[in-house]
Structure 1
C-alpha cells in the first residue's frame, strides 16, 4: 500500500521559523515533524512513500534521501512546478495509484496506529476514509458531521461513522462540531477521476464536498494516540509538552536527554544553569545562570545568556540572546542575535532583521 505525504505548503503562520525551510522540516523534540508522519506510515506497513513538495523542495529531497538509507521501503519526492493544492498534488501521481492508498499532511505530529484506520476503511466500503480528531477550537480546521448510516442525519455523539456534512474553517456560529478532519486519509483510486487535470484543487474545500454531492460514501474514524497540528508557534509548544509529559504512552522513544525538576526536557548535550519549566531545550544549546525558561521551545545550537526570561516563546536554531533579555510570546527565527538588555513582547524577528555571522 502506497503512502503519500503532502509537504508543499510554506507555513506562513510559523514565520520566521519557515523563512528558510518548509513547514514539515520544523523540528519537534529535535526531529522534523514530517518524520512523525513517515514513522506512522512505516508502522502501518506501507510499501512505498512519496512526498509531494513545493516550497523549499530541495531540503525535503535531502531528508527523503536519508530515509532511503535507513528504511527497507522506497521513498521519493514529486516536486510541483507550481502549487497544485492538496488534491491536485496527489492527482499528479495518478498513474501509480492502482489500489487504495494513504494520504497524510506532512505538518502534523502523529502517534496513531494507522492500521486501525485501514481496518475501518476496509470495513466501511467507503471511497474515502478520513482520520478525525477532537479539538477545543475548530475554527482553523474542517469540521465533520457523522451518521451511523450512509446518507443519514448527523448524530452529535459519534466519533466514527459516515460523513454527512463538512464545513471548512467554520465561524463560531457555524461550528456544529468539534470533530475535525486531521488531514489523514485512505483513498480509493477511482476518486482521482473526479479531480480535474492540471488545476489547483483541494481535498477539503472541493473534493470532499463534491463526493457528498454525488452521494459517494466518506467514512470518518477518530484516531487513537496523539495528533497535533503545528500551524502556529503555540501549537508547537503544546505538541512538545504533551509528548514529554506522555512519553510512556507513545509508540516511540524521546531523544536521549534528561528531565528537569520543573517538567522541562534537555535533549542530548543541552545544558542549563537556570530553571527550565515545561520547556524543551534542544541539543547543543546553552542557558546561562540566573535565567528562567517557561513554556517555551529552544531549538538547537542556541545560546541564551545570564539573567534572561523567556516565556511562551519559540527560539530558532543558532540564535544568540544577550544577557538580561526578556522575551514573552515571541518567535525568533534561525540565526538571529538579540542584543543584551532587550525586552520584547508579541514580536517576531527573522535573520533578515537581525543576524550574526558566528
Structure 2
C-alpha cells in the first residue's frame, strides 16, 4: 500500500510520494520490493495515489505487475473494488513505510496454523515513538484494537488476508479500521504470534533519520 499523502513527512513529500523518499541508497518502498522480488511471488501489486505516475513507473521497472490507482479512496477500497475481490487466496499486505525483514515462510505457517482466516494481523512489540493499534485478543482472536488502551503488542502494518472471504463476510468500506471492526464483531480477525524479525515504521522525517542510523544494510 503506497497511496498515502505522507503529510507528516513534509517537506520531504512536497514533490514526491512517501514511498519514493530516499532510504538506504534506494527508495523507501524499495526495501520491501527487493525482498518480495527475490521470493519469486506469483504477482506483486501496489496502490498509488499522490504522485502516482512517478511511483508506478518506478514500481514497474522494479518488477511490480499490477498498479491500482486509489487516489482519493480509503486504504481498503481496493479489496472491494478491483479484480482482487474475487481472489480466494491469501495476500500479504505491507505498507510502503515498513522497514521489515520479510519472513514469508513464518507468516505463511502462522496463517495456516490459524486455519486461513479472512484476515490475520502480524503484531510486533511496541517501539518507542511509533504509534500503533494495540491488540487485545483471546486465544489469538482479536477482541479489540485501541490507540489508548496499551497492551504488549500492536499492529505492524503487516497483514495477510483473503479478499473473497472478506467480501463474503463484511460490507464494503474504505478504511481498514472499519474492515477490522466488522471482522472483530464476527470473531473473524486473528492475531499471529508476535513477529520477531527486524521491524520499524517511518512516519516522520525524524523516524527516517533514526532508521537510516540503525538499520543494518544488507
CA contact (8 A) 1:51 1:76 kept: yes
What is the aligned partner in structure 2 of residue 20 from structure 1?
15
Q: 2:31 aligns with which of 31, 36, 43?
A: 36
Change (3 A) 1:117 1:193: same
In the alignment, which residue of structure 1 is the partner of 2:160? 186
Does the 8 Å CA contact 2:142/2:187 hold for their aligned counterparts? Answer: no
Q: Please list, as runs of the form range in 1=range in 2, the aligned pairs for 1:1-358 lying within 5 A after superposition.
A: 6-68=1-63, 75-80=65-70, 82-93=71-82, 94-95=84-85, 97-125=87-115, 126-137=117-128, 140-147=131-138, 149=139, 161-167=140-146, 169-170=147-148, 174-175=149-150, 177-188=151-162, 189-194=164-169, 196-197=171-172, 199=173, 201-203=174-176, 205-243=177-215, 246-247=216-217, 253=218
CA distance in 2, matches of 1:138, 1:88: 29
Uncovered stretches (5+) of structure 2, i.e. residues with no partner:
none
Q: Is the 8 A contact 2:143 2:187 kept in 1?
A: no
Partner SS, residue 211 of structure 2: helix
**RMSD across aligned C-alpha pairs, in angstroms?**
2.1
Structure number with the higher strand fraction is 1
Higher relative contact order at CA 8 Å, sep ≥6: structure 1 or structure 2? 2
Tell me the TM-score normalized by structure 2: 0.88
Contact 2:33/2:62 (<8 A) preserved: no
Q: Distance in 2 between matches of 1:46 and 1:122?
A: 18
Q: How many residues get paired?
A: 215
CA shift at 1:18, angstroms? 0.4
Task: State the 1:208 CA deviation.
Answer: 0.9
State the shift of 1:217 in Å. 4.1
Q: Supply the distance in 2 between the matched residues of 1:217 and 1:54 (Cα, whole angstroms).
A: 27
Mapped to 2, the partners of 1:34 and 1:139 lie a distance apart of 18
Distance 1:39 1:192 in 2: 30
What TM-score, normalized by structure 1, do the two folds share? Answer: 0.56
Unaligned runs of 5+ in 1: 1-5, 69-73, 150-160, 248-252, 254-358
